[in-house]
A and B are shown apart, each in its own frame.
Chain A
Amino acid sequence: MKLSAEQRTEMLKKAIMCEQPERVPVVSKAEPSYAIQYAGYDLKKAQWDPATIVKATDKMYTDIYCDAGGNMPRFPLVYKTNGSKAFVPRESDNFVQHPEVTGLLAEEYDQYIKDPFKCIVETVMPRLYPKLAVGGIEGGLNLLRAMIADNQSKAEYLGGLAEIGKKHGIINIRRGAIEAPFDFVADLLRGFTGVSMDIRRDPARLQAAAEATLPLMYKLGKILNPTPGTIPSLFIPLHMPSYMRTKDFEKLYWPTFKKMVDMFIADGYTLQIFFEKNWERYYDYLQEMPKGVIAYFEEDDMGVVKEKIGKNVCIMGNYPITMLRLNTKQQCIDKAKEIIDKAAPGGGYLFCMDKSILTLDDAKPENLIAVSEFVHEYGVYK
C-alpha cells in the first residue's frame, strides 16, 4: 500500500517526536551515485549532469520503496571548478574523494581563534583552494566560476528532486548539513593527524578553536535551513568521537557540540545526528540529548540504544548494508525483522541503513527492494 505525502509527513513527525505512528517509516540512504548505477547510467558522465541524477532517482523511487529521503551529492563540476585539494573527483568515475589535508597549521590557532572566518578566507582557503586565491582579476573570476558552478548544480538538482519527491509522495527529511564544532576544526583545518596531536599537545587552543567555531556553525545552520520545524531536519554527521579517549571527548568535544544542539532545539529545529561508528562509551552523555533529535546510529545495537536513550530521542539506522551485498534475500529480511522488533515498539523509530549506500557494489538491488517492502508491510503498529 502506497501512502500519500500527507500520511507520510504525519507518520514521520510522530516518530521524530517519539510518538507511535501508524507504521515504521522507511528512510532511504541510497545515494545519487547508487541511483545512477541502478538506473543504468554511466557514473562518470551522470555525475556532471544533475538532470540525469534526478532521472535516475525517479527510477529508484519508482522501484524501491521508501517514505523519506534526502541527500546532497558532491558534484565533480563544483570541485573541478574550484580546484579543491580537499575534495577530488576520482579519474576513473568522478566519484569525489576526500584526501587528508591540513588547512590550518598548529601555529595558526591564535589567528583562527581571534577571527575564524577571516582566517578561513585568508589562510585556509588559499591552501585548500589555490585557484580561488590567485591574485588580481583571475582569482576573482575563479571565485565567481566556483560560486556559479555550486549554485547551478545545487539549484538544478534540488529543483528536480522536489518535483520527483512530489510525484512519488516521498518526504525530504533533511535540509542542510553542518558539523560539530570540534569536527569542523578536525576535518579540513587540522586534519586527522594534526588534531590527534593537538589533543595531547595543545588541548587549550583546540578547545578555544572549537568554541570559536560554534557561532559559525550556528549561523550556517540557520542560513542553510532557514525555517525551523520538525521536517526537514538539519544534518550533523559526527566524525571524531570514536577515535578519541572518553576524557578528551568530555572536555574537548562534548561541550560545544551539546551547546550547539541545545541552541538549535530551542529555536525549534529537528536535528538528524549521525553517530558514526560505535557510541557505547558515550551513552551517559547521549541521555542529555533533547527531544527533537533523530539519532542515527551506525554500529550500535538498536535494542540497547532504545533502552538507553529511546525515551527522549527518535532513533534510526544500524541495518548493515554489508548484508544487502553478501546475504540472501531471506537473511536480509530476517535481519530487518530482528532490528524492528527491538527498536520499533512504542514508536520513536525510523527504519534506515547503517550508512549511505554509495554504489551497486554496496547493495544488491533485489535485496534492498525486498527489505524495504518487508519493513513497510511488517512495520505496522497494531
Chain B
Amino acid sequence: MKLNSELLKYWDDAPVEGYKPEDEDIVKEPLNKVEDQLFAFVMSLMY
C-alpha cells in the first residue's frame, strides 16, 4: 500500500527534482529516509 502526497518528495519510479537517475544507488535511500522522518514527525503531532 503506497502513500501519495503532493508534499512528500519520495524518489519512487522517477528521480526527485535536482537529482540524476544514475545517482539512484547513492542518494535514493538517504533522501527517502528524510521524507520518512518528516512524515513521521508531522504525524506525531496528530495523535
* Interface residue ranges, A against B (CB under 8 Å): 82, 84, 86, 103, 115-118, 120-121, 124-125, 128-129, 146-147, 150, 177-179, 183-184, 187-189, 214-216, 218-220, 223-224, 263
- Cross-chain contact of A121 among B1, B7, B36, B44 (Cβ < 8 A): B7
> Given that A115-B5, A223-B36 are known contacts, is A120 also in contact with B41, CB under 8 Å in the complex?
no
**Min CB–CB distance B34 → chain A (angstroms):** 12
| Alpha-carbon distance A84/B45, docked complex (angstroms) | 8
Instruction: Determine whether the beta carbon of A150 is less than 8 Å from that of B41.
Output: yes
**Which residues of B31-47 have CB atoms within 8 Å of chain A's CB atoms?**
36-37, 39-47
Complex CA gap A121/B44 in Å reads 12
**Which of B40, B41, B45 has the largest count of A CB atoms less than 10 A from its CB?**
B45
A118–B47 touching, CB < 8 Å: no
Complex Cα distance, B1 from A239, in Å, reads 24
B2 close to chain A: CB less than 8 A: yes
Residues from chain B with a CB closer than 8 A to the CB of A116 are 5
Closest to B33 in A: A223
- CB <8 Å contact, B46 and A117: no
* Min CB–CB distance B20 → chain A (angstroms): 27
Q: What residues of B have a CB within 8 angstroms of the CB of A150 in the complex?
A: 41, 44
| Chain A to chain B contacts (Cβ below 8 Å), 15 pairs | A86-B45, A115-B4, A115-B5, A115-B6, A116-B5, A117-B5, A117-B7, A117-B42, A118-B5, A120-B43, A129-B45, A146-B45, A184-B47, A215-B1, A224-B40
Contact residue among B2, B3, B47 (Cβ-Cβ distance under 8 Å from A117): B3
List B contacts of A178 (CB < 8 A). 47
Known: A215-B1, A263-B1. A223 touches B40 (CB 8 A): yes
CB distance from A152 to the nearest CB of B (A): 13
Return B29 CB to nearest CB of chain A, in Å: 13
Known contacts being A115-B6, A184-B47, A215-B1, is A120 close to B42, with CB within 8 Å? yes
A86 to B46, CA, bound (A): 8
For residue A141, give the distance in angstroms from its CB to the closest CB of chain B: 15
Q: Is the CB of A188 within 8 A of B47?
A: yes
What would 6 more interface pairs be, CB under 8 Å, given A103-B46, A117-B39, A184-B46? A86-B45, A118-B5, A120-B46, A216-B3, A219-B39, A220-B40
**A residues within 8 A CB of B46?**
103, 120, 124, 128, 184, 188-189
Inter-chain contacts of A223 with B (CB < 8 A): 36-37, 39-40
Cross-chain contact B1 with A218 (CB below 8 angstroms): yes
Residues of A within 8 A of B47 (CB): 177-179, 183-184, 187-188
Instruction: Tell me the nearest residue of chain A to B38, going by C-beta.
Output: A147
Contacts of B43 in A (CB 8 A): 120, 216, 220
A219 shortest CB reach to chain B, Å: 4
Residue of B nearest to A224 (CB): B40
Q: Tell me which residues across on chain B come within 8 A of A82, comparing CB atoms.
A: 45
Task: Choose among A103, A147, A216, A218 the residue that contacts B41 (Cβ–Cβ < 8 A).
Answer: A147
List the B side residues contacting A184 at CB < 8 Å: 46-47
Q: How far apart sit A147 and B40, CA to CA, in the bound complex (Å)?
A: 11
Complex contacts, A179 vs chain B, CB 8 Å: 47
Docked pose: A344 CA to B34 CA in angstroms? 45
Are A215 and B36 neighbours in the complex by a CB distance under 8 Å?
no
Min Cβ gap A274→B in Å is 13
**Complex: A129 Cα to B42 Cα, angstroms:** 11
Most B CB within 10 A of own CB, among A116, A128, A184, A220 = A220
In the complex, what residue of chain A is closest to B46 when comparing beta carbons?
A: A188
User: In the docked arrangement, what's the CA distance between A215 and B43, Å?
Assistant: 12
